Amino acid sequence: MNILIFGPNGSGKGTQGAVVQKKYGVPHIETGVIFRNNISGGTELGKKAKTYIDRGELVPDSITVPMLLARLKEDDCKNGWLLDGFPRNLAQAEVLWKALEEEKMKLDYVIEIILDRDTAKKRIMGRRLCAADNNHPNNIYIDAIKPAERNGKMVCRVCGCEELLARADDQDEVAIDKRHNIYYDTKTGTMAAINYFKEKVKVIEVDGLPGVREVSENLLQKLA
Ligand code: AMP
């Protein structure tokens, strides 16, 4: 099962991606997470990517595309994958489509979470990352996934980890606006990539405005 999930930063794409991953048991591949792991591991790739990420710009395709294509060749991807955060522009979409054609692989689902820019921005600023597990959703502005409290301190609502971090690029409004400019760009940005796939496969659209559970239910119903 090969799946792409799209949605503006802050639309709950990571949270819903985890739900889809659970349903199909395929690896949830997030390019943003791969970059952040490289940054915290101090790798060359991480050093190159960091300056772009901090500014809210895309890491150049010359770095991102080979990294992603290599990831898709790893053993755990044999039975499929869920891609989140890639493709982020039209050029990446074209490369991915070509690579799939060459490998005679098909796209089973393309999911698009639809959310307006202002709501997405607020959600980004409320997002907190659990240091123990990136897939534990916490957001101080979303009731359904508000962090828990222990001894007056915010802790991860899933595992109780005390280290809840806000990403630097999530607190920088200029960087958020840049990321959204890229997403909503219908000429060469992420919306252009989505429209590219709309010409080739059926795209499942899900309204990202309701609560987390309702969005998951709608999504799972459409995937069934
Ligand atoms: P995310 O965690 O998806 O918000 O990604 C964080 C940052 O990583 C983005 O703002 C980009 O700088 C970089 N990034 C993630 N995915 C890609 C991609 N497909 N192409 C280029 N840069 C990316």
Among protein residues, the one whose CA lies closest to atom 2 of ligand 1: 32
Q: Which of 15, 59, 61, 96 to mutate to test the pocket of ligand 1 (most atoms within 8 A of CB)?
A: 59
**Smallest CA separation from ligand 1 atom 11, residue:** 58
The answer as to whether 24 is a domain residue is yes
The tens place of each residue's pLDDT in the chain, 224 residues long, gives 999 999 998 898 988 998 999 999 999 999 999 999 999 999 999 999 999 999 889 999 999 999 999 999 999 999 999 999 999 999 999 999 999 999 899 999 999 999 999 999 999 999 999 999 988 889 999 888 899 999 999 999 999 999 999 988 889 999 999 999 999 999 999 999 999 999 999 899 999 999 888 999 999 999 97
Rounded distance, CA 168 to CA 185, Å? Answer: 23
How many separate domains does the chain show?
1
52 found inside a domain: yes
Phi, psi of 185, deg, nearest 5: -75, 115
**Index of the ligand 1 atom closest to the CA of residue 169:** 10
DSSP letters, 14-32, are: HHHHHHHHHHHT--EEEHH
Residue 33 lies in a domain: yes
Tell the residue nearest (CA) to atom 1 of ligand 1.
32
- Supply the pTM of this predicted model: 0.87
Give a yes or no: residue 196 inside a domain.
Answer: yes
138: in domain: no
Token readout for 164 is 């809840």
Instruction: Give the H or E element holding residue 3.
Output: strand 2-6
Query: Within a domain: residue 165?
Result: no
Distance CA 142, CA 218 (A): 18
**Token pair in block for residue 153:** 């301190």
CATH code, domain with 53: 3.40.50.300
For ligand 1, residues with CB inside 6 Å are: 9, 31-32, 35, 52-53, 56-59, 64, 85-86, 88, 92, 179
Alpha carbon nearest to ligand 1 atom 3, residue: 32
What is the distance between the alpha carbons of residues 8 and 117, in angstroms, rounded to a whole number? 8
CB 56 within 8 A of CB 175: yes
Four-CA torsion 94, 65, 74, 106, nearest 10 degrees: -10
**Residue nearest ligand 1's atom 15 by CA:** 32
Residue 153 domain flag = no
Atom of ligand 1 nearest to the CA of 13: 3
Is 161 among the domain residues?
no
For residue 11, give its domain range: 2-116+173-223
